[in-house]
Structure 1
Amino acid sequence: MLRTMATLLSARGGRGPGPAPARNAEPDGEVRLALPSTLPATLGCDAVGVPARYGFRLLSRLPGNGCVFADSDWWWWIVPAGSDADLRWPLPSCYAADAYVPDRRPQLIHRPGTTSPYTPPIPLYLMICQLTGVAPAWAVPGACTRL
């Protein structure tokens, strides 16, 4: 049975407080998403966020999910650093370098069944494009355009 976002983020069924938020506080109203220590981010760590209304659809349709964090408004997928190179992530998605996101107390809601914390960025990008109705587009490095 699917639980609502409020249920996922609230205390677990009245059995006391849920786990502490997975975050490191920063002074400017942002936090860096903290990965579990058993999932090293050897390729660096960025995050791609989408409004919560897209969260369950993305999580259920992607062929592989890494760590996913969520708060009441946004869901964040961990991707390797530099996953924005030559890509324009479509609105309303948000790319967060170094996984610094607005401090809305995001919590880890999905842990991968592998030893990698990453969601593959290209399938994530294509799925976000599909959900938002935006045609995928990326630049080819070094290619020139004809006039």
Structure 2
Amino acid sequence: MNPQHTPDPYPRSGRHPEAPLGVPGLLIPEGLSGGLGHDAVGTTPAHGRRIMECLPRIGCVFADEHRWWWVVPAGSQIGVAWPSSTRYAAGAALAGRRGPAPAGRRGPAPAGRVRLIHRPAHDSPYTPPIPLYFLTCRLAGITPQWSPAAVG
């Protein structure tokens, strides 16, 4: 099966089955193909800047006053233990956050709001989760751990 032609199991208007009810999720910008569903990995802004400098391919990145949120394919927590310095949001549902800040706004997002800080030049909204995982582990000073039974 070709994932580029597979329908999105969690379309823009839908909700990831593991996402908390009533919690808004990050919306993939129009024009990007999010056919794999999407989750988000939150890092500190300091780690976010380092990651942005190191990864060769970066998808959509959102930010609020406390975290940078990296869009990854749905299920990127399966089999890995994300570092405790990160936050994993199934369905990209960010508890305690409101929807995106108004389009075109510059500077920090208003309290409780997220804003898109990086839109990829390519048509995929995803940051590859494996390089992101290894880099977050390195920045956290821990050894990457994975197994079929581990859930991050």
CA distance 1:70–1:98, change in 2 (3 Å): same
1:1-147 alignment runs, 5 A limit: 28=22, 30-102=23-95, 103=97, 104-140=112-148
1:121 deviates by: 0.2
1:140 deviates by: 4.3
Matched AA of 2:78: A
- Mapped partners of 1:93, 1:80: distance in 2: 16
Which runs of 5 or more residues in structure 1 are unaligned?
A: 1-25, 142-147
1:40 deviates by: 2.3
Matched AA of 2:54: R
Matched AA of 1:116: S
Matched AA of 2:87: C
Please report the RMSD computed on the Cα atoms of aligned residues, expressed in angstroms: 1.6
- Mapped partners of 1:79, 1:60: distance in 2: 18
* Runs of 4+ displaced beyond 3 Å: none
Q: Indicate the structure (1 or 2) with the bigger Cα radius of gyration.
A: 1
SS of equivalent to 1:55: helix
Preserved contact between residue 78 and residue 148 of structure 2 (Cα < 8 Å):
no
Which runs of 5 or more residues in structure 2 are unaligned?
A: 1-19, 98-111
- Mapped partners of 1:31, 1:140: distance in 2: 29
Alignment size in residue pairs: 115
Preserved contact between residue 62 and residue 118 of structure 2 (Cα < 8 Å):
yes
- Mapped partners of 1:35, 1:105: distance in 2: 16
SS of equivalent to 2:94: strand
